[in-house]
Structure 1
Amino acid sequence: MATLVLDNGAYTAKIGYSQEKVSVIPNCQFRSKTSRLKTFTANQLDEIKDPSGLFYILPFQKGYLVNWDVQRKVWDHLFGKEMFKVEFADTSVVITEPYFNFTSIQESMNEILFEEYQFQSVLRINAGSLSAHHYFHTKPSELCCLVVDSGFSFTHIAPYCRSKKMKEGIRRINVGGKLLTNHLKEIISYRQLHVMDETYVINQVKEDVCYVSQQFYKDMEMLQRKKGEENSVMIDYVLPDFSSIKKGFCKPREEMVLSGKYKTGEQILRLANERFAVPEMLFHPSDIGIQEMGIPEAIVDSIQSLPEEMHAHFYQNIVLTGGNALFAGYRERLEAELRSLAPAHLPVSVLQPANPICYPWEGGKLLAHSPDYDEIVVTREDYEENGHFICEEKFDI
């Protein structure tokens, strides 16, 4: 039987058969300014000639799957002829859900997967549990790990011991990639150019130019002192016009014009402290009025809530996943801050996988090939006989 692994994130779906490679596809629909009447689904985004003013229709709100109409359309597209050609009767599916998901959402998901699509068997699991499975598979001698998953809607910190999640240690921070992009849109709109409708473009700007500062206050001071060419943080970003410039890019430093006058036709964003002030919200959400801990304090708080004899194991096995882990300097800053907060006698080690976005999917792929996979899934016969009860019993691992 084929196994389809679907890490169903709020921004992208990571999907593929367990024998094949993963595909990362937008988990949403789009409408564009130019063709208002047409709705594009998932990777049809590539067909949009002019993605400026692109309007996203997301199945997730605040990290939870609430718009089933949109999600069904995305899944129909992914499971259909153009993409994965899923033979439901002979396919098992591993699908992710957020921590502390609502029962009503879980029941809707069971119904759709078993009754509408009619998958042969289903495993509903947290993405962090798949990451932990991946980690323990690569480091079988380790007993514990702490998964820090910073994605689109939230950042979750989840401790695992021998592949079991320790619920009392799970922490959630309401800061994710969506908030960072929105904040960058606000800063640019206030200082330079109205870009509040340009989510797609500004998200690209964020990914291209933002980084995590190692010493935030020092860097801010340095920016105030150094003007003009001495300012190594300042960068000029050429915005795409989607006719001659398909994708935005950073101007080489030697081409930067301090007078601000460029050749006609190029629209320039000049970025300075925004480059590191935006990702700083992961460390200090209170900077924009979110009264919560940053990631380093939340990690320490999570570990402190667990038995003391396990603390050393957790500090030494911290795994970073999710799209925000791709910011340059993120791992180093986190490790440095944890070193200053953790007890001096405990070593701290933070691991960033080569591909933090697909790390949970890879864990799902390993799980699909593990000998006890058949024990942890719910088959369609089980579901038809026992309903939601059997899913609740098996999936709350």
Structure 2
Amino acid sequence: MATLVLDNGAYTAKIGYSSDQVSVIPNCQFRSKTSRMKTFTANQLDEIKDPSALFYILPFQKGYLVNWDVQRKVWDHLFGKEMFKVDFAESSIVISEPYFNFTSIQESMNEILFEEYRFQSALRINAGSLSARGYFRSEPYQLCCLLVDSGFSFTHIAPYCRGSRMKDGIRRINVGGKLLTNHLKEIISYRQLHVMDETHVINQVKEDVCFVSQDFYKDMAVAQLKGHDNTVMRDYVLPDFSAIKKGFCKPADQVVLSGKYKTGEQILRLANERFAVPEMLFHPSDIGIQEMGIPEAIVDSVQSLSEDMQPHMYGNIILTGGNVLFPGFRERLEAELRSLVPAHIPVKVTLPNNPITYAWEGGKLLANDPDYEEMVVTRDDYEENGHFVCEEKFDI
């Protein structure tokens, strides 16, 4: 039987067969102002010739799956002829869900997987549990790890010991990639150019030019300097979707101080925004969110566990999710934790090669595990016992 692994994130779906490679596909629908009546789904984004003022229709709100109509259309597209040509009668599925998911959402998902798509068996599991499984498989001598998963809607801190999550230690910060992009849109709109409708473009700007400062106040002072002394300043060329399909950052040595380029390119000049936006992951209170930053949340999580476990947790911190790809993120987090954790305890923060698909890789290992058949719920089980059997088996 073929096993499909789907890490169903709020921004991208990471999907592929357990015998194959992963595909990262937008988990949403789009409408563009140039073709207002037509709706594009998932990777059809590439077909939109002019993605300015692109309107996103997201199945997730605040990290939870609430718009089933959109999610069904995305899944129909992924499972259908264009993408994976899933033969439901011969397929099993591993699908991720957020921590502390609502029972009503879980029941809807069970119904859709078993009654509509009619998968032969299914396993619903937290993405963090898949990541932990992948980590323990690659480091068989480790007993504990602490996962920092910073995604589109939230950042979760989740401790795992011997492969099972420690529920009491899970912490959530309501800061994710969506908030960072929205904040960058507001700053640019206030200072330079109205871009509140340009989520797609500004998201690209954020990924291309933002970084995590190692010394916030020092970088802030540099960003206020004039001329070439301001080493933080960069010029970003916005796409016009005819000659320039995708925006790009001009090299530091090509920045024209007057800001007037002969080519007629539309330029965004970015200085302290480059590091002030990712700083919200460390200090959400900067924009009025009264919550801990990631380093404090890690310490709070670890201190809720037994003392024997604490050194193991600090020594095995794994970063996953799109936000951890900001340059300097790992180094800053390790430095801040070093100042918060007792000196005799070693601190080690690991950034995997691809933190976005790390959970999917864990799901692939799980699907090929000899114990996999014991963990799933089959369609016969579900038809006989309903949601009860899923609740019993999936709480892992």
* TM-score normalised by structure 2 residue count: 0.99
1:141 counterpart = 2:141: yes
Alignment of 1:191-206 (within 5 A): 191-206=191-206
Cα displacement (A) at 1:151 = 0.2
The residue that corresponds to 1:396 in the other structure is 395
Which consecutive aligned stretches of 4+ in structure 1 deviate over 6 angstroms post-superposition?
none
Alignment of 1:72-151 (within 5 A): 72-151=72-151
The residue that corresponds to 1:297 in the other structure is 296
C-alpha distance in structure 2 between counterparts of 1:108 and 1:20, whole Å:
28
Deviation per residue, 1:180-212 (Å, 9 max, x gap):
000000000000000000000000000000000
C-alpha distance in structure 2 between counterparts of 1:21 and 1:260, whole Å:
44
**Paired letter, 1:72:** R
C-alpha distance in structure 2 between counterparts of 1:233 and 1:219, whole Å:
7
**Cα pair 2:222 2:231 within 8 Å, conserved:** no
C-alpha distance in structure 2 between counterparts of 1:165 and 1:140, whole Å:
17
**Paired letter, 2:17:** Y
C-alpha distance in structure 1 between counterparts of 2:37 and 2:143, whole Å:
54
Aligned-residue identity in percent: 84
C-alpha distance in structure 1 between counterparts of 2:358 and 2:3, whole Å:
17
The residue that corresponds to 2:256 in the other structure is 257
The residue that corresponds to 2:376 in the other structure is 377
C-alpha distance in structure 1 between counterparts of 2:379 and 2:258, whole Å:
67
Deviation per residue, 1:45-101 (Å, 9 max, x gap):
000000000000000000000000000000000000010000001100000000000
C-alpha distance in structure 2 between counterparts of 1:195 and 1:7, whole Å:
31
**Paired letter, 1:149:** D
Unaligned ranges ≥5, structure 2: none
C-alpha distance in structure 1 between counterparts of 2:263 and 2:192, whole Å:
18
**Cα pair 2:222 2:232 within 8 Å, conserved:** no
- Please tell me the root mean square deviation across aligned C-alpha atoms, in Å: 0.6
Unaligned ranges ≥5, structure 1: none
C-alpha distance in structure 2 between counterparts of 1:34 and 1:103, whole Å:
40
Alignment of 1:248-287 (within 5 A): 248-287=247-286
Cα displacement (A) at 1:252 = 2.0
**Cα pair 2:222 2:229 within 8 Å, conserved:** no
The residue that corresponds to 2:153 in the other structure is 153
Partner SS, residue 308 of structure 2: helix
Cα displacement (A) at 1:223 = 2.3
* TM-score normalised by structure 1 residue count: 0.99
The residue that corresponds to 2:162 in the other structure is 162
Cα displacement (A) at 1:264 = 4.6
C-alpha distance in structure 2 between counterparts of 1:389 and 1:24, whole Å:
32
**Paired letter, 1:369:** N
